[in-house]
């Protein structure tokens, strides 16, 4: 028995390719990549690169101690579940309807209660903005020509509430026609990606989130440009990259909420991103000014 275990360990060691990088958890252990026979199918480990002797190398690198402790098994199970869920959500009518509730990254959970009816109106200006929001939901739901919407204004002025209300209205109106909605808060997006960095899973989580944001039918990007999103330069650079990649593909049906004005947005993002954000938003830039602080209600 011991001889068999030794033979297996030696066979595995011959497949190891050292990386020169050490585990962030077990700092004394060097990460390795593994050789495997070539295959036309790309598995969860992302086998793409070929070695000189004709084997495929796993894209991911591994720590032997993490493997013993079951950390990678847990990660792979989670990743497989995400892939399966993603396929169901994309290809099923009811799955598309569920994307909003199951895949969104929402800051305050109370935001799920945001509807047009729950938006408290105190002034005529607030009523006008509510009416504009209802009109936007109707236009989106009627599958008219795609367009973008931008809500601007100080914090607490109901921008996120109205964006969520629009999205929930669309989701209900179009649930029988395989249309998907997604709400992404940028601070939550940063938090999610930071978690993936901890487990050496950044590439897969980044691809999953980017693909989701690029392909859903209706998307809200909430609190774009908030200071909390850019306290970490690495996270800030990632947000810049993902926002550009998302808008580079999307041709409309995107709602942005931001506390920043035009000049402030230009300082926070490069010109290509600003151009993409403003594209198709003419007539749909809603300035939430002269509105009571909705956080106090």
| Domain assignments of the chain as residue spans, ordered by start | 2-69, 93-296
Least confident of 25-29, 202-206, 236-240, 263-267: 202-206
At residue 294, the 3 state secondary structure works out as: helix
- Is residue 285 within 8 Å of 150, Cβ to Cβ? yes
Quote the pLDDT of residue 232.
Answer: 60
pLDDT, residue 178, reads 83
pLDDT by residue (tens digit) across 165-210? 999 999 999 988 889 999 999 988 888 877 766 555 556 777 788 8
Q: How confident is the model at residue 113 (pLDDT cuts 50, 70, 90)?
A: very high
Mean pLDDT across 269-291: 82
Question: What pLDDT, on the 0 to 100 scale, is given for residue 106?
Answer: 94
Higher-pLDDT residue of 297, 137: 137
Contact status, residue 134 vs residue 163, Cβ threshold 8 Å? no
pLDDT one-digit tens code per residue, 225-258: 875 455 566 666 777 778 888 988 888 999 999 9
pLDDT value of residue 48: 47
Least Cα distance to 25 among 56, 57, 55, 69 occurs for 69
Average pLDDT in the chain: 77
Q: Lowest mean pLDDT: which of 22-36, 94-108, 175-189, 264-278?
A: 22-36
- CATH class of residue range 93-296: alpha beta
Which of 143-157, 159-173, 222-236 reaches the highest mean pLDDT? 159-173
pLDDT value, residue 197: 63
- pLDDT score of 7 more than 50: no
Rounded-to-integer distance, Cα 269 and Cα 250, Å: 18
Residue 133 in contact with residue 291, Cβ under 8 Å?
no
Q: Among the ranges 19-33, 48-62, 202-216, which has the highest mean pLDDT value?
A: 202-216
d(CA 65, CA 71): 9
Where do the H-state alpha helices sit in the chain?
A: 2-14, 64-68, 71-91, 93-103, 124-141, 159-173, 186-198, 202-215, 233-249, 262-268, 271-278
Residue 58 has pLDDT above 60, yes or no: yes
Output the six-digit token pair for 93. 């009518």
**Is pTM beyond 0.85 here?**
no
- Split at pLDDT 50, 70, 90, the class of 296 is very low
> What separation in angstroms does the CA of 253 have from each of 96, 125, 129, 148, 198?
16, 25, 19, 5, 33
Q: Compute the residue count for the chain.
A: 297
Residue 57, pLDDT > 70, answer: no
Beta-strand pair 148-152/254-258: parallel
pLDDT for 139 equals: 94
In this predicted model, which residue has the larger pLDDT, 295 or 20?
Answer: 20
pLDDT value of position 59: 59
């Amino acid at each position: 028995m011991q001889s068999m275990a030794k033979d297996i360990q030696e066979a595995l060691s011959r497949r190891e390719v050292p990386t020169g990088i050490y585990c962030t958890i077990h700092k004394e252990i060097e990460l390795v990549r593994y050789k495997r026979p070539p295959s036309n199918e790309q598995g969860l480990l992302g086998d793409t690169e070929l070695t000189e002797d004709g084997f495929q190398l796993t894209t991911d690198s591994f720590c032997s101690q993490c493997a013993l402790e079951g950390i990678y098994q847990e990660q792979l199970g989670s990743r497989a579940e995400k892939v399966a869920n993603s396929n169901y959500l994309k290809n099923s009518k009811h799955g598309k309807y569920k994307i909003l509730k199951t895949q969104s990254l929402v800051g305050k959970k109370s935001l799920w209660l945001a509807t047009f009816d729950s938006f408290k109106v105190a002034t005529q200006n607030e009523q006008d903005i509510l009416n504009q929001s209802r009109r936007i939901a109707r236009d989106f739901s009627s599958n008219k020509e795609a367009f973008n919407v931008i809500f601007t204004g100080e914090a607490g002025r109901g921008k996120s509430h109205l964006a969520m209300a629009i999205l929930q209205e669309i989701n209900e109106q179009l649930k029988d026609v395989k249309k998907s909605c997604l709400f992404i808060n940028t601070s939550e997006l940063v938090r999610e990606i930071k978690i993936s960095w901890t487990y050496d899973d950044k590439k897969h989580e980044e691809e999953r989130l980017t693909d989701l944001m690029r392909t859903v039918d209706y998307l809200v990007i909430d609190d774009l440009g908030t200071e909390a999103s850019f306290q970490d330069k690495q996270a800030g650079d990632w947000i810049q990259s993902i926002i550009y990649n998302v808008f580079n593909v999307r041709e409309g049906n995107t709602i942005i909420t931001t506390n920043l004005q035009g000049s402030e947005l230009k300082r926070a993002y490069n010109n290509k991103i600003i151009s993409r954000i403003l594209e198709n938003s003419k007539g749909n830039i809603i300035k939430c000014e002269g509105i009571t602080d909705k956080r106090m209600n």
